[in-house]
Amino acid sequence: MKRLFVGIDAGSTAVKVVVIDSEKRVLYTLIEDTKPFIEEQTGSILKAIREKFSGCEFFVTATGYGAQLVKEADKRVTEISCHARGAFFATGKKGTVIDIGGQDSKVIVVGNDGQVLDFVMNDKCAAGTGRFLENIAWRLKLSFKEMEELALSSREEVSISSTCAVFAESEVISMLAKGIELKKIVKGIHRALVKRITAMLYSVSFFPPLILSGGVARNRAVQKMIEEETGEKIIVPENPQITGALGAALSGL
């Protein structure tokens, strides 16, 4: 019977799934918003996968904050190890992974064999995470795409002094009330996030290249600003949001 390896990354914002075979070929990927009942959600995702690949045997590895709720998991691995493994597989290089997720961000230094050499995560605070951008986008009634494009289109930016995801919202509102142009504010918001991330990066002994993973990695304004702030070239895997799930699937091999 053909054996397939499923990686489920049950994150705070999205559930990501990758199915690979023993040759490490990616057969299936899925990204959907995290629902309140992760146990049921991941249960039905797995059921659909079993139907889709009927006749196969599965080994399920779960990661992410909801990993404990994936009842059918054969193995659980932390997202740190999974992002390292996934990024190493996607790029084939040692380097430093910057993962900006929905509710946490991490910097992971990955060695020659894809092993974790060091890591650091954001403190008990949503600043520097996807949630920071999400809150502002919601407040401004903008889509992520619009946020990204506004930030890229602006030459100037305002400085957002609050690093708190909640207080930054009120700062933005007061800036709008003062008549400051929206795109300058949006660029400033991106800068605040990136500065928070790079501060974390500089707290460890990292080495290039910088590899971006997580949902926020798709945002080109964030990519550009990280390059500006660090002077390092960055690599973004083809589908950065599934890096953790891919790493989880690989952990099952």
Binding site for another protein (CB under 8 A): 65, 77-81, 104, 115-121, 123-124, 203-205
By C-beta, is 80 or 249 nearer to another protein?
80
Query: At closest approach, how far in Å is the CB of 253 from another protein?
Result: 15
Query: At closest approach, how far in Å is the CB of 170 from another protein?
Result: 20
Q: Tell me which residue of 253, 15, 237, 17 sits closest to 7, measured CA to CA.
A: 17
By C-beta, is 56 or 204 nearer to another protein?
204
Containing 52, the helix (H) or strand (E) segment is helix 38-52
Residue 26, number of CB atoms within 10 A of its CB: 15
By C-beta, is 81 or 96 nearer to another protein?
81
Strand bridging mode 75-76 / 14-21: unpaired
Tokens 């690979």, residue located: 20
Residue 159 · residue 231 · CB < 8 Å: no
Query: At closest approach, how far in Å is the CB of 234 from another protein?
Result: 23
By C-beta, is 191 or 196 nearer to another protein?
196
Query: At closest approach, how far in Å is the CB of 77 from another protein?
Result: 7
By C-beta, is 48 or 199 nearer to another protein?
199
The CA distances from residue 56 to 3, 49, 79, 235, in Å, are 6, 10, 26, 34
Query: At closest approach, how far in Å is the CB of 35 from another protein?
Result: 18
CB-based contacts of 221, cutoff 8 Å, min separation 6: 147, 148, 151, 152, 187, 190
Query: At closest approach, how far in Å is the CB of 59 from another protein?
Result: 18
By C-beta, is 126 or 140 nearer to another protein?
126
Residue 63 · residue 11 · CB < 8 Å: no
Q: Tell me which residue of 55, 45, 39 sits closest to 6, measured CA to CA.
A: 45
